[in-house]
Structure 1
Amino acid sequence: MSERWKPNVTVAAVIEHDGRFLLVEEHTPEGLRLNTPAGHLDPGESPLQGTVREALEETARAFFPDRFLGVYLARFERPQRGEDVTYLRLAFGGRAGPADPARALDTGIVRTLWMTLDEVRASCERHRSPLVLRCIEDYAAGRRFPLDAVHTDASVYGPS
């Protein structure tokens, strides 16, 4: 029997304030890249909890989601390392609180920056994945699903 395909589940926050979007600049094997605050969903947490956690870790800001943007799928190939990975991203939109100057940014994050939609569009060659722009474009277009569109069963949090 062949091995079962398992996409990597990631969560992402699209944060806008006064026409600018909050991105992170991070170290990757391909060099410095731009991304929305995002990362892997951890065991025992809902997608919403994971997004709030990732945003805090990567931006030192509390994230207050008010919408679900959608489910996104993308494939990433790194032939020189023999990697072929599919990412399943659940993206949420909302606002962020002020930066906590006492909190360090997550390992690998160089800085945060606020960019206009035009600046995000113009920097595509530096994006971590094509989903960065797609999620921001969906937010800018007014895409909005209720937060409860993503259900997490209680079994995720531990034994019954």
Structure 2
Amino acid sequence: MRWTPHVTVATIIEQDGKFLCVEEQSLSLGQLVINQPAGHVEANETFVEAAIRETLEETGWRVTPTELVGIYVYTAPANGVTYHRYCFAARAESNDPELPLDTGIERALWLSREELEQRRVCLRSPMVTRCIDDYLSGIRFPLSVIVEEDAQ
């Protein structure tokens, strides 16, 4: 059997000391959870394109990724799946509150780091606060560290 990690992106958007989050249904946990805007990278899509798309689909916010916060590897105990997460810092550009959100997303909300800590049991994974803590500590890399060669 071949092991296949799941390649995902997540986006950290901060405004006025609060972070853009999503409240979503977790099928593996069977409850509502809080996460950053995040999701899988699709075929023929760059990591940055995936971060922009996932943030728009899950929150209605158009964003511009500015930096890479880090690359995280996490194996979810609920399903045993290993996720390779590329986490970006991004600037919020505009919001379309009429845009329908992805299936399973209940709502977008802005939460402070303290509010996230108070809801720790509701986090999709420890990666939510780990990524924000790294962001708050100033860990950032230029987007140019990601090299995506065109296979053609």
Q: Normalization by structure 2: what TM-score?
A: 0.94
Instruction: Report if aligned partners of 2:63, 2:94 keep a CA contact under 8 Å in 1.
Output: no
Aligned to 1:8: 6
The residue that corresponds to 1:43 in the other structure is: 43
Q: Which amino acid aligns with 1:56?
A: L
- Specify the SS of the correspondent of 2:95: coil
1:129 and 2:132 correspond: no
Q: Given the alignment of the two structures, is residue 149 of structure 1 paired with residue 130 of structure 2, yes or no?
A: no
Q: CA deviation at 1:84?
A: 1.5
1:1-160 to 2 correspondence within 5 Å?
A: 3-29=1-27, 30=29, 31-78=31-78, 83-155=79-151, 160=152
- The amino acid that maps onto 1:48 is V
Q: Distance in 2 between matches of 1:7 and 1:130?
A: 18
Q: Which has the larger radius of gyration?
A: 1
Q: CA deviation at 1:50?
A: 0.4
List, as ranges, runs of 4+ consecutive aligned residues in structure 1 with deviation greater than 6 Å.
Answer: none
**Cα distance, 1:122 vs structure 2:** 1.9
Number of residue pairs the alignment of both structures matches: 150
List alignment gaps of at least 5 residues for structure 1: none
Once structures 1 and 2 are overlaid, which stretch shifts more, 119-128 or 12-21?
119-128
- The alignment's TM-score, normalised by the length of structure 1, stands at 0.90
